[in-house]
Amino acid sequence: KNQVEQSPQSLIILEGKNCTLQCNYTVSPFSNLRWYKQDTGRGPVSLTIMTFSENTKSNGRYTATLDADTKQSSLHITASQLSDSASYICVVSAPLGDYKLSFGAGTTVTVRA
Amino acid sequence: EAQVTQNPRYLITVTGKKLTVTCSQNMNHEYMSWYRQDPGLGLRQIYYSMNVEVTDKGDVPEGYKVSRKEKRNFPLILESPSPNQTSLYFCASSFGDRVVDTQYFGPGTRLTVL
């Protein structure tokens, strides 16, 4: 069973609207949680990295939150643009010294004009 | 320009014909890794390397080999490819295993094994 579950699997939103993606993980203990953006046919690009002690991290219109107690994270996209159409991947890292990453299957976001 | 390069980008081959996918980074990163990405499964780690001559298995190493003779290169070798290895492959690198190290991904290699 995958240790990182993302929801929804896909969503469609209108340009200018906001949306929130969810990530639940069971990796324990964990070191940090990352969100990546992957455009079709390209490699993932890092959006945010949060340690277990951080609650929120922003990168422009992207804001990630983390609740280490409930093992949940979310990625909020504000005022979506057509260029936000991509797959968003949640990644959880094991503690330092064991650099194995657990990847979620991703949420595909489609922004329509 | 800092980057991770992979070659080839696309490859169609037949079962059993040995192949190598090259990966190179120009950022002097110690850590490099190979992943495969399949629909609905997300990225899965094949092998990783913490430094020259230091490699370890990821979650799906069966059917693959790697080597790290130089810091900048981390080739992925399929000795006898099979159709279930048809996938999109990504190489990635980072400075190390510090908590906030960002992984940089290559552009991907789409492999089809007939």
The Cα-based distances of A15 to A18, A84, B71 in angstroms read 9, 9, 44
pLDDT at position A1 is 59
Neighbours of B36 (CB within 10 A): 22
Question: Mean pLDDT over residues A84-101, rounded?
Answer: 82
Residue A30's identity, in one-letter code, is: F
In a mutagenesis test of the A interface, which of B44, B97, B100, B104 is the best target, namely the one with the most A β-carbons within 10 Å? B97
Hey, which bits of B1-114 come out as E strands? 4-7, 10-13, 19-25, 31-38, 42-51, 54-57, 65-66, 76-78, 87-94, 104-105, 109-113
pLDDT band of residue A96 (cuts 50, 70, 90) is low
Position with higher pLDDT, A94 vs A103: A103
> What number is the average pLDDT over the span A18-41?
91
Give residue B13's identity as a one-letter amino acid code.
Answer: T
Amino acid type, A43: G
Give A-chain residues touching B31 at CB under 8 angstroms: 99
Cβ–Cβ below 8 Å for B99 and A45: no
Nearest of B110, B50, B108, B55 to residue B85 by alpha carbon: B110
| Structure tokens belonging to residue B99 | 């908590």
When pLDDT is averaged across residues A92-105 and rounded to a whole number, the result is 76
B13-38: average pLDDT:
95
Q: Which of A61, A75, A67, A66 is nearest to A107 (CA)?
A: A75
In the predicted model, what is the mean pLDDT of chain B? 92
pLDDT tens digits, one per residue of B60-91: 999 999 999 999 999 999 999 999 999 999 99
Q: What is the mean pLDDT of residues B28-35?
A: 93
Residue among B1, B5, B2, B14 nearest B111 (CA):
B14
pLDDT winner (highest mean) among A32-36, A85-89, B2-6, B29-33: A85-89
Residue B14 has pLDDT above 80, yes or no: yes
What chain B residue is nearest to A97 in terms of C-alpha separation?
Answer: B97
Whether residue A91 has pLDDT greater than 80: yes
Spatial contact of B103 and B2, defined as CB atoms under 8 Å apart: no
Residue with tokens 């069966």: B62
Residues 39-58 of A with CB under 8 A from B: 41-46, 49, 51
Rounded mean pLDDT, B41-69: 93
B83-101 pLDDT, tens per residue? 999 999 999 998 876 656 7
Cα separation, B72 vs A95, whole angstroms: 25
Q: Say how far apart CA B25 and CA A22 lie, in whole Å.
A: 32
Contact list, B45 vs chain A (CB under 8 Å): 100-101
Average the pLDDT over A23-43 and give the result: 90
Instruction: Give the model's pLDDT for residue B97.
Output: 60
What 3-state class would DSSP assign to B108?
coil
Q: B66 or A2: which carries more pLDDT confidence?
A: B66
| Residue pLDDT, tens place only, A39-54 | 988 999 999 999 888 9
Higher pLDDT, B94 or B112: B112
